[in-house]
Amino acid sequence: MRAVVQRVNLGRVTIDGRITADIGKGLVILLGVGQGDNEEKSAALAKKIAQLRILEDDQGKMNLSLLDTGGSAVVVSQFTLFADTRKGNRPSFVNAAPPEIASPLVDHFVEQLRAFGIPTQTGEFGAHMLVALENDGPVTICMEN
C-alpha cells in the first residue's frame, strides 16, 4: 500500500456537486492499493498513520499525532499512486490492485483508523472526485508498506 499523507487546515471531497467529506485540522490521506496488498498491510499502515507525529505541539514542533490531537482524517482512494512511468509518456497502472481487491482494502484501512477513534471521512471508490485541501506547512509525507 502507498499513502500520501498531507497535514491540512481543511480538506474536502466533492462528487457530482455533493460533499462527501469535509474536515478542519487533520490529515488528508491519498491511499493506493497495490498487487499483493492485504488486510495485514492495511492495518499496519493505518496504525503507522494514526501514530505519525506530524502535527504541531505548543512550541510549533511536529511532535503530535492524530491520536494526540483528536484531529480528523479524509481518506481518498487513488490507484494512480501505483503509476509506472519508466517507459514512454503514458503511465501504466498494472501494479495497482484490481477494484475487487482494492475497494475492500480501502474500507478496511478506514475501519482501522476509526477503531483508533479517529473521525474519518472518505471519498467514493472509483468515483471522479474533486479533492480540495489547504496543506498546512506544507507537510506532505509519502509512505509505503
Q: Which of 35, 51, 80, 93 is catalytic?
A: 80
Whether 79 is catalytic = yes
Q: Which of 20, 35, 51, 78 is catalytic?
A: 78
Phi-psi region of 88 (alpha: psi -120 to 50; beta: other; left: phi over 0): left
Q: Which of 20, 51, 59, 79 is catalytic?
A: 79
Whether 78 is catalytic = yes
Contact 106, 75 (CB under 8 A): yes
Closest CA to 117 of 52, 47, 23: 47
Closest CA to 113 of 11, 27, 33, 35: 27
Active site members: 78-80
